[in-house]
Chains A and B, each alone.
Chain A
């Protein structure tokens, strides 16, 4: 067995283990030198990214990977901890690894002036381990544990700038919401475990009955994960947390939020896959409606903000609404085979493709906001102006982000939003009208930002402002180039990574059959 095969076989465990090992080595290594520590952290994330890509390339070719901790093979009854990686998990892990890599490169200069950086990097790597664990695990309880790791690490990172009281307030809000969500999830896991004596997602999915208790568990799971993902009635923590955290942390928080979204989809499509005919129409419509409210309120709130990062945070809320709209449309039609073939798969590809587009677009805008803050120490849009004269590269990156987030053709946002508009229009025209309206309003929001921050006469107080350091430009450049590539060749992305992920969600029986070969349900 070659070394690559060895890595491939063990990659699900290593993707979580390497950041975890790195996290606890960081405090020791930072005793040597700050530069060595930064290189070490980037190296750890780079190794993890390579492993993710290796695993994903194999998973997208059709193999589902299972990894049993502490034993060579699966034993029935299943008592061991199990990681199960299908195309959807691999897709999410790719997003997470890109965001992490960009974040640590960006951190090199951005966070350099602060003290306590060994703790910062430890928490970033812990957050990475928790995030990848949520995406790759095949066990409900394990999912809960990784969710808790993610919550605690994010809470501490949001409060990283403790000298500003508002950051501590945001972190407190976040930890309250997270603990509440985690308790909901724990309770629903207890409900499922009490009935079926199993914690494994595949095992639970094969025996689930959709009893009264199962319905309660489903509602609690969706509510809790939507809370963590920032869906509108439960979104109040998100603008605070995104707005107050350092920009390099915010971009990882986007990844952690997407991991919760992934949880919603995994629960709806795989855990309750066997009973999806009973649940899909009602749950699908609920998700569609949540998506609509999220889009409208997110955009409307973004219009009235004057703080740069808070404004982007509200548009991030709106973007999550698009994802929910796409996936919800797919779920609504799931039981209807004929309709699903026509519209449902398009809607789901749109929704899933939009997950990666949303993280990249919003991530780039947050990095630009961070760069503006780094150069001017100013967050209020009312006090900015004429920055394009001093920071030309940052301005170009902002224009790319602006076009991408509002779905203007050469950028990636257009491709996924078009798929969502097309499919939702056939389900109900009002849905796509609301979606297009929110998209136009997003454009209005960011044109306003562009005008007030970057255009206009040069202000005397910004005379000394210079372009940000090269590492920050490089980090923004990575995301911007991915955005342009995805925008120019959307069919390549859809065929190679989005469609396998959509198929993995739809064909939930494959996921179950990987653990229980005798399972006969599903399509």
Chain B
């Protein structure tokens, strides 16, 4: 698949950072607002897919290899399960939210009732959102990349 016209490339370059920020925002605020790792990851991956369409799969494959994406995907999944197993190690049971109430990170327990949302809450849930987000970004973008590459191959023959 070849790249599209200069207009498309320019617009894609301008909108790409905005899409990234929006997707990463959804991942980071997964425990406070609607959305989360999967939804934000899908937004980021579709931003990457936009670049892929604008610049073409050959150019994109020169920038990023699908092998690296598959490693990133594995890392996301491993992080998720490791967090769950850490609940067994530091807490008491599998999937225990061991960070909640601790002083380390995301440890604050908000007061009951209507409060201003605080990002430093919810324990391991934001971390799990990050892990899922990483997995979804790498996974979805990897699939799109492979499909685009496969269609290039068909053009050739």
Q: How would you classify the secondary structure of chain B's contact residues: helix, strand, loop or mixed? A: helix
* Nearest chain B residue, comparing its CB with the CB of A12: B94
- Is the pair B85, A72 in contact by a Cβ cutoff of 8 Å? no
- Is the pair B78, A71 in contact by a Cβ cutoff of 8 Å? no
How many residues on chain B are close to A (CB under 8 Å)?
Answer: 18
- Is the pair A10, B74 in contact by a Cβ cutoff of 8 Å? no
Contacts of B84 on A, CB cut-off 8 Å?
Answer: 17
Mark each residue of chain A from 1 to 34: 1 if its CB lies under 8 Å from any CB of chain B, else 0.
0000000001001100100110111011000000
- Is the pair B97, A70 in contact by a Cβ cutoff of 8 Å? yes
Mark each residue of chain B from 54 to 79: 1 if its CB lies under 8 Å from any CB of chain A, else 0.
00000000000000001100110110
Q: Which residues, 96 to 117 on B, are CB-close (under 8 Å) to A? A: 96-97
Given contacts A17-B84, A17-B85, contact A72 B74 (CB under 8 A): no
The verdict on B93 contacting chain A, using a C-beta distance below 8 Å, is yes
The verdict on B88 contacting chain A, using a C-beta distance below 8 Å, is yes
- Is the pair B94, A10 in contact by a Cβ cutoff of 8 Å? yes
Residue from the set A20, A21, A24 with the largest chain B CB neighbour count within 10 Å:
A24
Given contacts A21-B78, A24-B77, A24-B78, contact A70 B88 (CB under 8 A): no
Q: Which residues, 36 to 83 on A, are CB-close (under 8 Å) to B? A: 67-72, 81
The contact size tier of chain A is 10 to 19
Residue from the set B71, B87, B95 with the largest chain A CB neighbour count within 10 Å:
B95
The verdict on B81 contacting chain A, using a C-beta distance below 8 Å, is yes
How far is B87's CA from A67's CA once the two chains are assembled, in angstroms? Answer: 14
Closest approach, in angstroms, between the C-beta of A259 and any C-beta of chain B?
21
Indicate which residue in B70, B78, B87, B88 contacts A25 across the interface (CB closer than 8 Å): B78
- Is the pair A67, B74 in contact by a Cβ cutoff of 8 Å? no
- Is the pair A25, B74 in contact by a Cβ cutoff of 8 Å? yes
Given contacts A25-B74, A27-B71, contact A13 B93 (CB under 8 A): yes
How far is B88's CA from A23's CA once the two chains are assembled, in angstroms? Answer: 19
- Is the pair A17, B93 in contact by a Cβ cutoff of 8 Å? no
How far is B85's CA from A21's CA once the two chains are assembled, in angstroms? Answer: 10
Indicate which residue in A23, A70, A81 contacts B87 across the interface (CB closer than 8 Å): A70
How far is B97's CA from A415's CA once the two chains are assembled, in angstroms? Answer: 49
How far is B87's CA from A44's CA once the two chains are assembled, in angstroms? Answer: 20
* Nearest chain B residue, comparing its CB with the CB of A25: B78
The verdict on B15 contacting chain A, using a C-beta distance below 8 Å, is no
The verdict on B92 contacting chain A, using a C-beta distance below 8 Å, is yes
- Is the pair B94, A67 in contact by a Cβ cutoff of 8 Å? yes
* Nearest chain A residue, comparing its CB with the CB of B82: A21
- Is the pair A13, B94 in contact by a Cβ cutoff of 8 Å? yes
How far is B95's CA from A68's CA once the two chains are assembled, in angstroms? Answer: 9
Contacts of A10 on B, CB cut-off 8 Å?
Answer: 88, 93-94
Q: How would you classify the secondary structure of chain A's contact residues: helix, strand, loop or mixed? A: helix
Given contacts A10-B93, A70-B97, contact A24 B74 (CB under 8 A): yes
- Is the pair B71, A17 in contact by a Cβ cutoff of 8 Å? no
Closest approach, in angstroms, between the C-beta of A515 and any C-beta of chain B?
16
* Nearest chain B residue, comparing its CB with the CB of A28: B74
- Is the pair A67, B93 in contact by a Cβ cutoff of 8 Å? yes
Closest approach, in angstroms, between the C-beta of B109 and any C-beta of chain A?
16
Indicate which residue in B78, B82, B88 contacts A13 across the interface (CB closer than 8 Å): B88
How far is B88's CA from A66's CA once the two chains are assembled, in angstroms? Answer: 16
How far is B96's CA from A81's CA once the two chains are assembled, in angstroms? Answer: 12
Closest approach, in angstroms, between the C-beta of B77 and any C-beta of chain A?
4
How far is B71's CA from A69's CA once the two chains are assembled, in angstroms? Answer: 28
- Is the pair B70, A17 in contact by a Cβ cutoff of 8 Å? no
- Is the pair B95, A70 in contact by a Cβ cutoff of 8 Å? yes
Contacts of A28 on B, CB cut-off 8 Å?
Answer: 71, 74-75, 78
- Is the pair A17, B97 in contact by a Cβ cutoff of 8 Å? no
How far is B48's CA from A182's CA once the two chains are assembled, in angstroms? Answer: 32
How far is B89's CA from A14's CA once the two chains are assembled, in angstroms? Answer: 12
- Is the pair B77, A71 in contact by a Cβ cutoff of 8 Å? no
Contacts of B85 on A, CB cut-off 8 Å?
Answer: 17, 21
Indicate which residue in A23, A25, A27, A68 contacts B93 across the interface (CB closer than 8 Å): A68
Contacts of A23 on B, CB cut-off 8 Å?
Answer: 77
Closest approach, in angstroms, between the C-beta of A68 and any C-beta of chain B?
7
Contacts of A69 on B, CB cut-off 8 Å?
Answer: 93-95
Residue from the set B78, B85, B87, B93 with the largest chain A CB neighbour count within 10 Å:
B93
- Is the pair B95, A27 in contact by a Cβ cutoff of 8 Å? no
* Nearest chain A residue, comparing its CB with the CB of B92: A72
- Is the pair B81, A21 in contact by a Cβ cutoff of 8 Å? yes
Contacts of B87 on A, CB cut-off 8 Å?
Answer: 70
Residue from the set B78, B96, B97 with the largest chain A CB neighbour count within 10 Å:
B78
How far is B92's CA from A313's CA once the two chains are assembled, in angstroms? Answer: 45
Q: List 22 A-B contacts (CB under 8 A).
A: A10-B88, A10-B94, A13-B88, A13-B95, A17-B84, A17-B85, A20-B81, A23-B77, A25-B78, A27-B74, A28-B74, A28-B78, A67-B94, A68-B93, A69-B93, A69-B95, A70-B87, A70-B94, A70-B97, A71-B93, A71-B96, A81-B95
Other than A17-B84, A21-B82, A70-B87, give 10 A-B pairs with Cβ distance below 8 A.
A17-B85, A21-B78, A24-B78, A24-B81, A27-B70, A27-B74, A68-B93, A69-B93, A69-B94, A70-B96
**Interface of B with A (CB < 8 Å)?**
70-71, 74-75, 77-78, 81-82, 84-85, 87-88, 92-97
The 3 closest A-B pairs by CB, nearest first: A13-B94, A24-B77, A70-B95
